[in-house]
Amino acid sequence: MKKVLIIGASGLVGNTLYRILSSQYQVEGTYCGYPCECLVRLDISDRRSVEKVIESFNPDCVFLPAAMTNVDLCEDNKDACIRVNVEGVNNVVSVIKDHPCKLVYFSTEYVFDGKNGPYSEDDKPNPINVYGKAKLEAEYIISSLLKDYLIIRTTGIYGWEPQGKNFVMGLIRRNRLKETVKVPVDQISTPTYVEDLAVTSLELVHSGKKEIYNVAGSSLINRLEFANFIADEFGLNKRLIRGIKTEDLMQKAARPLAAGLKIDKISGELNIHMSSAVEGLKLMKRSMPDGYAG
């Protein structure tokens, strides 16, 4: 592998991949609505632009973390979600399918219904919201049209990011503003530290692995437990963190409740370490710019 294209390098996962991969490969990265220096603009729903970027760079491997990731926004804007998360993926797949190029696609535990997680790679998907259905549809497109692909299912990704969109960054920011944050007590998952996800994804590529792998943190916990770990690590005021049932949160999109991803397959095949929530938060704190970690 020499040339790597990262579509969605302005996001949490893409940015981490960009940083790690740039020291080893010739890397091109793209953004869509959040301009970043060094990145090329690309909207994957525009087939012609996808063709242009891929054909002019001619990568050996495309990492595709790009997606419309706001689950409630997807629920309210189904057409936009399909345009990006299904048709956009289809555009990328159609362009690379006749090239000797691997695709690494990032999917989600939201392909499951959350009735009996945590889930392994062999469990039957049954998404319960627009975002989950679209991501599963994209998985089908990839697995039916490509031979050399990796579908990496992950969940609850956190880490330092300037945009501050992920759960940990949001909780820290709002707590410091003295806002009360309601956190679901019944959404169980396996939060994943972004550096572990990026390093392990690369390890999967280096080992020549194909098809579906779960890559997730090693702690199966509910959101309130996670919020309390965050509060401990970052010295937040726990009185401003309030546990609440999902049904009382009035979120637009239904959430898989008993979810989370099992990592037995990857742990059995590769020598990797997926951090627990406490370990990941400590690593995240160490990675933050001076003055931010508190």
> Is 106 or 112 the residue whose CB approaches ligand NAP more closely?
106
Binding mask of the shown chain, residues 159 to 198, with x at each position contacting ligand NAP by CB under 6 A: ------x---------------------------------
8 near ligand NAP, judged by CB under 6 A: yes
Taking the C-alpha atoms of residue 187 and residue 164, their distance in angstroms, rounded to an integer, is 21
Taking the complex as a whole, the smallest distance from the CB of residue 70 to ligand NAP amounts, in Å, to 7
Helix axes 223-234, 167-176, angle to 10 degrees: 60
The closest residue (CB) to ligand NAP is 11
> Is 8 or 125 the residue whose CB approaches ligand NAP more closely?
8
Check: CB of residue 177 under 8 Å from CB of residue 118: no
- Phi and psi at residue 190, in whole multiples of 5°? -125, 80
Q: Which two tokens stand for residue 106?
A: 């990032």
117 near ligand NAP, judged by CB under 6 A: no
82 near ligand NAP, judged by CB under 6 A: no
10 near ligand NAP, judged by CB under 6 A: yes
Taking the C-alpha atoms of residue 160 and residue 173, their distance in angstroms, rounded to an integer, is 12
Taking the C-alpha atoms of residue 227 and residue 81, their distance in angstroms, rounded to an integer, is 29
> Is 156 or 228 the residue whose CB approaches ligand NAP more closely?
156
Q: Which stretch binds ligand NAP (CB under 6 A): 148-156, 199-207, 231-239, 262-270?
A: 148-156
Q: Which two tokens stand for residue 121?
A: 């790679």
Taking the complex as a whole, the smallest distance from the CB of residue 194 to ligand NAP amounts, in Å, to 8
* Cα 99 → chain centroid: 26
78 near ligand NAP, judged by CB under 6 A: no
Taking the complex as a whole, the smallest distance from the CB of residue 213 to ligand NAP amounts, in Å, to 13
Residues 6 or more apart whose Cβ sits within 8 Å of residue 30: 5, 6, 7, 8, 9, 10, 39, 40, 41, 42, 53, 66
119 near ligand NAP, judged by CB under 6 A: no
43 near ligand NAP, judged by CB under 6 A: yes
Check: CB of residue 226 under 8 Å from CB of residue 285: no
Q: Which stretch binds ligand NAP (CB under 6 A): 29-37, 229-237, 240-248, 269-277?
A: 29-37
Among residues 156, 159, 260, 280, which is the contact residue for ligand NAP, using CB under 6 A?
A: 156
Footprint of ligand NAP on residues 53-72 (CB under 6 A)?
Answer: 65-69
Q: H/E/C letters for each residue in 143-174? A: HHHCCCEEEEEECCEECCCCCCCCHHHHHHHH
Q: Residue type at 75?
A: E
Chain residues binding ligand NAP by CB under 6 A are 8, 10-14, 31-34, 42-45, 65-69, 84, 88, 106, 108, 135, 154-157, 165
